[in-house]
Amino acid sequence: MSPIETQDILSEDTTGASDSDSDSDSDSDSMKLVPVAESIRYRKRAQSAEKKIEVLTEQLVEANAQTAQMSEQLSGIQAEQKLVCKLAAAGTVDLETAVLIAKARMRDQNEADLDGVIEQLKKEKQYLFGGTPGTVTAKKTAGARERISNNQTIIEKAAKKAATTGSRVDLQEYLKLRRNYL
């Protein structure tokens, strides 16, 4: 017999016995049996709850793994950012190359300090670092002409210079200016 059938028989026996015996009420109270349909419902609810627990524990394990991976990535990014800042402060000319070399050296050494790696890089690869680690100023580029607000004064100055020197070069410069502005 299956456990459900035995439970059904037991529940029928106790209900029939309680009807005939009124003085055995105290025994039936201590030994109440649940109807079969209700016990099946409880079992199904318990099984679905156990499945939900399994799914939720799997999700928790995945979330913990993702959290660990993200924290590892964050610490790597923070270390790289610190390295970039220190290399920029040291006056690195080619920052990408210096970062790659420094990262490779830090992988070789387990807990290498950034300052030591940068100093070693300065000694071995001097071409990666500029002369002074100060602020970089912009240099004047070729091809930019100084502008004077009044175009006539430029042409007049070139004409006076060509007239006083009598040089063909000065005359040519005057003619170029006149062609550009007129």
For 42-83, the pLDDT digits (tens) are 999 999 999 999 999 999 999 999 999 999 999 989 988 998
Higher-confidence residue of 112 and 17: namely 112
Question: What mean pLDDT do residues 104-127 have?
Answer: 82
Measured distance CA(161)–CA(173) in Å, rounded: 10
Looking at the structure, do residues 38 and 123 belong to the same domain, yes or no?
A: yes
**Which domain does 102 fall in, by range?**
34-128
Looking at the structure, do residues 69 and 110 belong to the same domain, yes or no?
A: yes
Domain boundary among 113, 128, 143: 128
Three-state SS for the chain is CCHHHHHHHHHHHHHHHHHHCCCCHHHHHHCCCCCHHHHHHHHHHHHHHHHHHHHHHHHHHHHHHHHHHHHHHHHHHHHHHHHHHHHHHCCECCHHHHHHHHHHHHHHCCCCCHHHHHHHHHHHCHHHECCCCCCCCCCCCCCCCCCCCCHHHHHHHHHHHHHHHCCHHHHHHHHHHHHHHC
Specify whether the CB–CB gap between 36 and 42 falls below 8 A.
no
Question: What mean pLDDT do residues 24-36 have?
Answer: 65
Q: Is the predicted pLDDT of residue 140 greater than 50, yes or no?
A: yes
Looking at the structure, do residues 43 and 92 belong to the same domain, yes or no?
A: yes
Measured distance CA(65)–CA(91) in Å, rounded: 39
Tokens of 5: 């059938």
Looking at the structure, do residues 171 and 120 belong to the same domain, yes or no?
A: no
Higher-confidence residue of 103 and 51: namely 51
Q: Is the predicted pLDDT of residue 105 greater than 90, yes or no?
A: no
Looking at the structure, do residues 58 and 90 belong to the same domain, yes or no?
A: yes
Measured distance CA(112)–CA(105) in Å, rounded: 8
| Position 8 in a domain | no
| Position 7 in a domain | no
pLDDT at 33: 80
Give the total number of structural domains in the chain: 2
Question: What mean pLDDT do residues 106-135 have?
Answer: 76
Q: What percent of the chain has pLDDT over 90?
A: 32
Looking at the structure, do residues 119 and 156 belong to the same domain, yes or no?
A: no
Looking at the structure, do residues 86 and 156 belong to the same domain, yes or no?
A: no
pLDDT at 143: 59
Looking at the structure, do residues 41 and 107 belong to the same domain, yes or no?
A: yes
CB atoms within 10 A of CB 177: 17
